[in-house]
């Protein structure tokens, strides 16, 4: 079995694969811990899923939070007993990258692209709706062209509350109408429908620049919410990044970064 995890700014998503089948997944809060805490957490999660640590033959992770990398690597080595491969832009992803500075691309974006091409074909737009909102663009011949990065809904909400003393905190949900009947609905409308509108406009612009209509896949924690409001999104794949980690590990199974 293969242990995979994607360390994000807000959440760490972890999964366990048996071959190409995702057996179980977990969404955890990203926070600083000791390697012992990570190890005990991993053992507890595997045990709750009925998986013995001895069945885990490998591990791989992608991260956009370098300060958390060592604790995960050490915790997995000490408590699960396997070395953990860290994804980097230098590794074989099966991607042609047409960007000025490919080493600056976040691991999660490369993983999404690698999995997206294999699962959905090309041309393709991948919209990742998490702490940040990213649009990754794959050409018809399977090349990663670049994309767009925008603040995510939670960042927008936090910024609004931190700079406006009288506005109440509220959950991220779509109100029934765009015109909010009260302050909470007005905030929800601005954040949620505003994000949906931006998403539609970005997809429209990307398709226009490429001169073709791309298939659009949404992933990330807020993908189900926004996909309901965007006719341009063809499907939601919550675990696309995890599939990318598995694919990356299979292509670099020697366990060495290149």
Question: Is the backbone of residue 255 left (phi > 0), alpha (psi -120 to 50) or beta?
Answer: left
Query: CA 117, CA 98: separation in Å to the nearest integer?
Result: 15
Query: CA 14, CA 180: separation in Å to the nearest integer?
Result: 37
Q: Is 6 designated active site?
A: no
The active-site residue, picked from 36, 69, 92, 108, is: 108
The dihedrals phi and psi of 167, each to the nearest 5 degrees, come to: -80, 130
The two three-digit tokens of residue 215, written as one number: 């298939």
Closest by CA position to 3, among listed 90, 71, 77:
77
Provide the residue count of the chain: 258
Query: CA 194, CA 135: separation in Å to the nearest integer?
Result: 16
Measured CA angle at 145 (ends 142, 147), to 5 deg: 125
Specify the DSSP element, H or E, that contains 61: strand 58-63
Query: CA 16, CA 1: separation in Å to the nearest integer?
Result: 7
The two three-digit tokens of residue 253, written as one number: 């199974």
Query: CA 92, CA 74: separation in Å to the nearest integer?
Result: 24
DSSP secondary-structure letter at 70? H
* Residues with catalytic function: 108
């Amino acid at each position: 079995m293969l242990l995979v995890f994607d360390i994000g700014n807000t959440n760490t998503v972890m999964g366990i694969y048996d071959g190409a089948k995702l057996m179980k997944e977990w969404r955890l809060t990203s926070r600083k811990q000791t390697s012992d805490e990570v190890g005990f957490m991993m053992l507890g999660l595997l045990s709750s899923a009925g998986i013995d640590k001895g069945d885990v033959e490998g591990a791989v992770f992608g991260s956009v939070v370098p300060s958390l990398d060592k604790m995960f690597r050490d915790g997995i080595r000490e408590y699960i007993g396997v070395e953990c491969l860290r994804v980097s832009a230098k590794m074989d992803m099966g991607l042609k990258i047409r960007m000025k500075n490919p080493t600056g691309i976040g691991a999660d974006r490369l993983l999404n692209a690698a999995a997206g091409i294999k699962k959905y074909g090309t041309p393709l737009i991948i919209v990742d709706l998490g702490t940040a909102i990213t649009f990754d663009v794959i050409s018809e011949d399977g090349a990663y062209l670049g994309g767009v990065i925008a603040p995510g809904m939670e960042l927008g909400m936090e910024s609004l509350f931190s700079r406006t003393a009288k506005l109440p905190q509220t959950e991220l949900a779509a109100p029934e109408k765009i015109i909010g009947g009260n302050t909470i609905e007005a905030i929800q409308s601005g954040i949620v429908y505003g994000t949906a509108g931006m998403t539609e406009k970005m997809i429209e612009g990307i398709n226009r620049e490429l001169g073709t209509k791309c298939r659009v896949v949404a992933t990330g924690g807020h993908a189900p919410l926004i996909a309901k409001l965007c006719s341009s999104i063809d499907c939601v794949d919550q675990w696309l990044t995890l599939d990318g980690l598995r694919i990356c590990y299979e292509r670099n199974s020697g366990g060495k970064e290149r």
